[in-house]
Structure 1
């Protein structure tokens, strides 16, 4: 694995950084204060991204996060593809604003889910849709396998019943990728994902959450009451494979968890950059000196930078493995766990290092500290990621290690 950014992605990365600096940052505080107000400025940007990505196998958005078309083995040659390009773009855009990225049309985690598991016909049919992802339910916590929303086959349709909470872009998106079980008795193996379009009878948004951070993004609760969904909207294989178990639908996370880790990398980098700028007249930033020879605040900043770099490299590795069709479930969870924890620590410590400046609304440091918390929670909490890593290392199943 080459640790340098592939040359073919340099232009995309530069463009994403320019968007973050000149488009996201100027409106960041505006939509932090206007929770639930849709950022109209994103419509033009989303259209530009759609144009940039049209016909490109290495697009910058969530729709390129897939193992489809990945190199099957290193003998076929190393591939730097859609997962890596999506990750690099997410890192740069979240250097600008996490909430605005999550509010971006057609760049949601639901789009990444479709890209990860949809068949070729579904990819074409859902091209251009803006998809949210609905997994979490009341009382299930972080256990995705405990899903109680049901999907009952009825002719050419499935009938969905249940409730989903904490759905990012749940109100604004065109459709929602809903996780539901075909048969509770079969456990994890029967859980499938369905694309449900807004306006489908029986689907209704019941509540919008007020949140600590990422306020530019709407977070909704959605109920399904005898909601009829075309059978063709079941993503991937409709057959229940008990041997494969939960692995089919969980493939989504192999692609989306590195992206969430990339969001954490981006906001942490923003905090480090701004803190260095604020302290440039106080610190000399002499990396040749040992930590014991500099003051505590300076040593703290150096340690945070090292932690950030470790998280960045782990995240790049997880995306690179997906591009090269290598099993990356463990690495995706390692990256998500490391990056989520590091982002929380970095953003809070940067507020502390900047003192009164970091705590006030004159600086974005306090906003980034609030925004970063969710990145250690959604797509699987820190604790869940560590549990997944332990299972992979020890060769234990979910029933053997809880």
Structure 2
């Protein structure tokens, strides 16, 4: 495995790190305190991010469809494309602020869903749309197959009824990718995703949630009541396949889980760097010239955390590389998300502890990073769900056999 970052992404990484340091961090505390206030400073970066995504061939931000980016379309050799670029860019942006990274127009998680399963016509139509993703319901959280929101065929439309909660950018986005079932009696095979554009009659934002972290990002509860959506807005294949119907929808997670893992790596990297800076400033040895047993306990712990974070980073890059090269990456995506989510949260919390009062106060961003990191171990599938998915795949068990 070649462990160096592809050189063609160096300008992207440099630019994203500049944004994190010079734009995100200076306004991070401002929007943490002013929850639900829209960060207008980010509008100018929407155009910059659009430029970063030019040539991706997948429309919008986020990971690209497996069959569209790499071996699946007849290309040969190694490919580092949209998935790798998205992960590397978000690692750097989240060194600044996770909530602000989630608030950049046209960079929503729904864009990754569109890229994963949309057809060519839909990619062209929704390529410049800022799309949120609505999966979770009051009675269906980690078990996406338990979705109760319905989509009933009616002429040239589907009529959507149900409620979605914890929709990231649900109020600000131009559209919401809604997961709904075509027939509850057929279980998970009938679950499809639909693009519902903002302003569609019957779609109502009920409230915005107050949260522990990522306060710069709005998190909405949305109600759908006889909401009519054109059939052309159903993403992917409208046919119900008992064997692989849900697999198409789940491919969205194969794309977005490495993205969320990258976010966790970014915020944990920021916390480690700041902690080393603070501890070095009071005379603690944080270099690598001594064996760990000859180092102060805090220095040794920092190095162990760095090793854990590097393992998470390599798992994440592997999952992104597999997607870019047309290789099924469901297990690897879950491994990356499970490792990075857990390690990222543990590192940020431990950095707060190591820096004592400085870490706990608001003079530094350490306490904020620890709050922001928690969501990265929850959304796009919790830690426990990732481990369950990995166990099922490794043991060859179905969801009914291993719960």
TM-score, normalised by the number of residues in structure 2: 0.97
Aligned counterparts of 1:105 and 1:386: Cα–Cα separation in 2:
32
- For residue 242 of structure 1, report the CA deviation from its aligned partner: 0.6
Kindly report which structure 2 residues correspond to 1:213-252, keeping only aligned pairs within 5 A, or say none.
213-252=213-252
1:57 is displaced (CA, Å) by 4.7
What do the CA deviations read for 1:100-122 (whole angstroms, capped 9, x no partner)?
A: 01111100100111011100000
Partner of 1:123: 123
SS of residue paired to 2:71: coil
| Structure 1 segment 87-98 matched on structure 2, within 5 A | 87-98=87-98
Structure 1 residue 358 corresponds to structure 2 residue 359: yes
SS state at 2:398 partner:
coil
The CA deviation string for residues 311-344 of structure 1, in whole angstroms up to 9 with x for no partner, is 0000000000001111100000000000000111
- 2:313 corresponds in structure 1 to 312
Following superposition of structure 1 onto structure 2, how do residues 2-401 of structure 1 map, counting pairs within 5 Å? 2-57=2-57, 62-67=61-66, 68-72=68-72, 76-281=76-281, 282-401=283-402
* Residues 103 and 216, structure 1, Cα contact 8 Å, conserved in 2: yes
SS of aligned partner of 1:161: strand
Residue 360 (structure 1) shift: 0.4
Deviations 1:9-61 (A, max 9, x none): 111111111111111111111100000000001111112222343345599x7
Deviation at 1:293, TM superposition (A): 1.8
Separation in 2, partners of 1:379, 1:386: 13
Offset at 1:290?
A: 2.6
Gaps of 5+ in 2: none
| CA distance in structure 2 between the aligned counterparts of 1:319 and 1:55, rounded to whole angstroms | 18
Q: Matched residues in 1 for 2:91 and 2:69: separation?
A: 23
Superposition deviation, residue 71 in structure 1: 2.2
Cα deviation for residue 308 of structure 1 reads 0.5
How far apart, CA to CA, are the structure 1 residues paired with 2:86 and 2:360?
Answer: 32
Query: How big is the shift at 1:243?
Result: 1.2
Partner Cα separation in structure 2 for residue 309 and residue 175 of structure 1: 36
Q: Which runs of 5+ in 1 are unaligned?
A: none
Alignment deviations for residues 230-273 of structure 1 (CA, whole Å, 9 cap, x no partner): 00000000000111142110000110000000000000000001
CA contact 1:189–1:241 (8 Å) conserved in 2: yes
Between the aligned partners of 1:115 and 1:43, the Cα distance in structure 2 is 23
3-state SS, counterpart of residue 96 of structure 1: coil
The change in CA–CA distance for 1:73 and 1:298 in structure 2 (over 3 A counts) is farther
> TM-score, normalized by length of structure 1?
0.97
Secondary structure of 2:223's counterpart equals strand
Check whether the contact 2:285–2:295 (CA below 8 A) recurs between aligned residues: no
Q: Tell me how far apart the structure 1 counterparts of residues 58 and 225 of structure 2 sit (CA, whole Å).
A: 39
What is the distance in 1 between the residues matched to 2:28 and 2:64? 26
Count of matched residue pairs: 401
